[in-house]
Amino acid sequence: MRVLVAMSGGVDSSVAAALLVEAGHEVVGATMKLWGGTSDRGCCSVGDVEDARRVAQQIGVDHYVFNFSDDFERHVVDPYVESHATGSTPNPCIECNRHLKFDRLIDRADQLGFDAVATGHHARIVQGPDAQLWLARGADSAKDQSYVVHMLGAETLPKVMFPVGGMTKQQVRAKAVALGLQTAAKPDSQDVCFISGSGGRSAFLSERIRLRPAKVLDEAGSFLGEVPAVEMVTVGQRRGLGPAVGARYALSVDVQAATVTVAPADRLLVSEVRLDPVFWVREPPGGDESLLAQVSAHGEPVPARWEAAGRVCFERPVRKVAPGQSVVVYRGDLVVGGGTAAY
């Protein structure tokens, strides 16, 4: 097969490319230039592009750089800013996967005559009990990334490969060491690539929207203090809300009214969440089916069921999911679908 490998400059995508070469595929590496602004961390820095190029040279494959910065600005950066401006908490990595790595890149691969696109995500594509292809959790539960690639639908799965999905992270690094790859000891990226380490979110957002101070209130409406920017507060947050808040958390954020309401931790427990929009890998599950719901990238899956009204109902209360965050629904290790918390 002709496979276009998304090489971010990290160890996972480096080993993914090397494994495909070993398996006899015709491999070409591709690094996506996504962020056109200043970047000193994440997967968009000049150093990451250079690391990917060097690994491609080491394993003997061609390496392309695709400039998708306009698409990235439109589908990832602009919605990120808009979410903060309206009181939601965005997940830019999920939107990048949705629109860039598994949309724009697959389109480019099709145009260039490739059979598939591969990435270094810790997820698997497996044959389910129905003999159909399904997205599944990666073999390393501590590094599983099925949550952030849950948007892959039935029509896309045949075009995608996850070569390291059946490996542990330790095995990936051992393979990189054995091959002498440039990225063998490189630490994992944990940050949003377009947010600089020096300025942070506030500097980034303040250049694009007006950040406004807000009152911090308890549920009875009593004034407890102020925060410098209501757009920077997320549901469930405790730090940075002022000393008078004590052992209370942000229960709701009202950007229009410039208020943050705080409450004790038990007031953040919910038994359901409405999702909008919702995405299913294949067909929606039945309302009586026992499922698992995951409300964060590495959160503990919670037994749940799906209601046709667009709600995930948890069998035990969970911490309130911030509006804008994703909830992913599983059938065992198989991804059934997911959506965005909307309430």
Active site residue 193: yes
If you classify domain 2-179 with CATH, what class do you get? alpha beta
Stretch 204-221: mean pLDDT: 97
CATH numeric code, 267-341: 2.40.30.10
| Inter-residue contact 304 to 329 (CB < 8 Å) | yes
Give the H or E element holding residue 318: strand 311-319
The predicted-structure confidence for 105-138, as pLDDT tens digits, reads as follows 999 999 999 999 999 999 999 999 999 999 999 9
| pLDDT confidence bin for 189, thresholds 50/70/90 | confident
Q: How far is CA 76 from the centre of its chain?
A: 11
* DSSP code of residue 103: I
Residue predicted with more confidence, 287 or 126: 126
Tracing tokens 């377009």 back to the chain, one arrives at 194
pLDDT value of position 192: 84
| pLDDT confidence bin for 37, thresholds 50/70/90 | low
The fraction of the chain above a pLDDT of 70, given in percent, is: 97
Active site residue 43: no
Q: Which residue type sits at 142?
A: A
If you classify domain 210-266 with CATH, what class do you get? mainly beta
The predicted-structure confidence for 48-67, as pLDDT tens digits, reads as follows 899 999 999 999 999 999 99
Q: Is 54 exposed, middle or buried (0-12, 13-18, 19+ CB in 10 A)?
A: middle
Stretch 169-196: mean pLDDT: 91
Catalytic residue among 43, 44, 93, 96: 96
| Inter-residue contact 14 to 7 (CB < 8 Å) | yes
| Inter-residue contact 27 to 64 (CB < 8 Å) | no
The fraction of the chain above a pLDDT of 90, given in percent, is: 89
Per domain, the residue ranges of the chain are 2-179, 210-266, 267-341
pLDDT value of position 154: 95
Neighbours of 276 (CB within 10 A): 11
Q: How far is CA 80 from CA 14, 221, 294, in A?
A: 29, 30, 22
Catalytic residue among 43, 93, 193, 313: 193
